[in-house]
Amino acid sequence: MNRQTSSAARLASTLLIVGMVAVACGRSNATQGTQPATQGPTAAASALAATSDAPASPAASGSATPASAAPAATYSPPAIANDPVTGEIQSIDQLLKGIDGSLSGTNGGE
Amino acid sequence: MKTRTRTILAGLAVAALLVVTSAAVASAASPVIAGGPAGTGVCATEAAAVRAGVSIDTLRAFGDCEIARRFTTLGALASKISGSKALTSSDAAALSGEVSSTKSGLTGLKAQIDAETSLPALKSEIRQIATAYRVYLLVVPQVNLVNGADTVQLAQTAFNQVSTNLTARIAAAKAAGKDTTAAQADLDAMNAAVTQAVGLAGPLPAALLPLTPAQYNAGTAGPVLKNARAALVQARGLLQSARQDAVACRDALK
């Protein structure tokens, strides 16, 4: 009987620990996991701008937590191939071609 | 490893080829509508027959051919108007109306020519094909110039998006301690050039759309068309400059 009670207690404590770990992991993923992958360049830039206001060192902030020891904002623009500005410039190129076409259709006689 | 690299390079080459091909197809899909000279040879046979011997039949055949040539051009213009992504709805409606009324007028004139029995009257009617409608000297340039002017407006929207992105990027770079002086100067130059281009192209539709064949014959529409074309050339140059500024700004932030 005592052995059964002890096993049940062990099982309950194991489940509790597993549950706590699962909750902790879930929170961590929610705050860090997928967010950067879905950020656009503007959002990323805003995020960079926002983080640049953070203190550069723990000493300056007076905080002793490891999280506040993050480095200052770094600037990393997207590679040209994936750059939305590059895509927009390509669209502009097409519009410029359209203007060229319009201009070349304006000369002629009756 | 080498095989994998080769495979990647081959893939990139095929992708580049597809891009180039699709760009060529895209530009081929919007043919330039000839302003006149390209089509003048269409009725060369009928014109030669008139020169060989003026008669009701030879003149009528020449007139019908010239009208048919204009119908083809007007059809191409109608397609260009309906397919344009740049034309505003009001400009497209105005141009469509003009093309449609020109076609109706020429249809009526063709019926007159086909029924005409007097040689002097037929000669007069054939002259009207050009003078009463001015398809090549007025309608074609009107459609093309208004479309070009509206394309400048559309380009402004695209440049605004570029400006928004580059402004945010400059702010981020600045916050990270990067010197953004050159990038900001490029962005300012881009925005100024776009504003100037839009200022040149913006008034063109309102100046071009009311022009009539009668005004062309009186000599007042020609200078308006000429000035509009000059303004559009200038606007295009400014947009090309703005495009270079955008690239310079983007590259300065790398």
**Residue A62 belongs to some domain of the structure:** no
Q: ipTM exceeding 0.90? A: no
What is the rounded distance in angstroms from the CA atom of residue B41 to the CA atom of residue B65? 11
Average of per-residue pLDDT across B192-220: 98
Q: How distant is the Cα of B250 from the closest Cα of chain A, in angstroms?
A: 8
Would you call A60 helix, strand, or coil by DSSP? Answer: helix
Contact A41 B169 (CB under 8 A): yes
Residue A69 resides in a domain: no
**Which residue from A46, A77, A85 is facing B162, i.e. has the nearest CB?**
A85
**Smallest Cβ distance to B155: which of A83, A92, A102?**
A92
Q: H/E element holding A46?
A: helix A41-51
Residue B138 is predicted with a pLDDT of: 96
**Cα distance between residue B196 and residue B234, in whole Å:** 9
Structurally, how many domains does chain A consist of? Answer: 1
- Of B35-39, B118-122, B164-168, minimum mean pLDDT range: B35-39
Quote the domain boundaries for residue A4: 1-34
pLDDT on residue A79: 73
pLDDT in tens, A67-104: 444 555 677 777 766 789 999 999 999 999 999 999 98
* Lowest-confidence region among A7-16, B22-31, B108-117, B155-164: B22-31
What is the pLDDT at residue A12? 55
Closest C-alpha among A12, A84, A103, A107 to residue B222: A107
The 3-state secondary structure of chain B reads CHHHHHHHHHHHHHHHHHHHHHHHHHHHCCCCCCCCHHHHHHHHHHHHHHHHCCCHHHHHHHHHHHHHHHHHHHHHHHHHHHHCCCCCHHHHHHHHHHHHHHHHHHHHHHHHHHHCCCHHHHHHHHHHHHHCCCHHHHHHHHHHHHHHHHHHHHHHHHHHHHHHHHHHHHHHHHHCCCCCHHHHHHHHHHHHHHHHHHHHHCCHHHHHCCCCHHHHHHCCHHHHHHHHHHHHHHHHHHHHHHHHHHHHHHHHCC
* A and B: number of Cβ contacts within 8 A: 150
Classify residue A22: in a domain, yes or no.
Answer: yes
- Partners of residue B175 in chain A, C-beta under 8 Å: 48-49, 52, 73, 75
* Yes or no, beta carbons of A107 and B35 under 8 Å apart: yes
What is the C-alpha separation between B131 and B106, in angstroms, rounded? 11
Task: Confirm whether A28 is domain-assigned.
Answer: yes
Q: Are A96 and B27 in contact (CB under 8 A)?
A: no
On the question of pLDDT at B68 being above 60, the answer is yes
User: How high is the pLDDT of residue B31?
Assistant: 41
CB contact under 8 A, B137 and A107: no
Dihedral angle of Cα B26, B202, A87, B81, to the nearest 10 degrees: -20
For residue range B213-231, what is the model confidence (pLDDT) as tens digits? 999 999 999 999 999 999 9
- Residue B131's pLDDT band (cuts 50, 70, 90): very high
Interface test with A, best of B19, B30, B151 (most A CBs within 10 A): B151
* Whether A8 contacts chain B with CB within 8 A: no
Q: Name the DSSP class of A30.
A: I
Buried b (16+ CB within 10 A) or exposed e, A17-39: eeeeeeeeeeeeeeeeeeeeeee
Q: Is residue A78 part of a domain?
A: no
> Is there a domain that residue A11 lies in?
yes
Contact B253, B173 (CB under 8 A): yes
Residue A16 confidence (pLDDT): 55
Q: What percent of chain B has pLDDT over 90?
A: 83
Task: Check if the beta carbon of residue B158 is closer than 8 Å to that of residue B236.
Answer: no
Q: Is A30 a member of any domain?
A: yes
In angstroms, how far is CA B204 from the centroid of its own chain?
A: 13
Looking at the partner chain, which of B151, B164, B225 has a beta carbon nearest the beta carbon of A95?
Answer: B151
Q: What is the pLDDT of residues B165-188, one digit of tens each?
A: 999 999 999 999 999 999 999 999
Out of A47-56, A62-71, B41-50, pick the least confident: A47-56
In the block, residue with structure tokens 């062309």: B216
Per residue in A13-42, pLDDT (tens digit) is 565 565 554 444 444 443 343 333 333 333
Higher pLDDT, B86 or A72: B86
**A107 lies in a domain?**
no
Per-residue confidence band for B67, with pLDDT thresholds at 50, 70 and 90: very high
Q: How far is A47 from chain B (nearest CA, A)?
A: 8
Pick from A44, A72, A95: which is nearest to B154 by CB? A95
> Minimum mean pLDDT among A16-20, A43-47, B146-150: which range?
A43-47
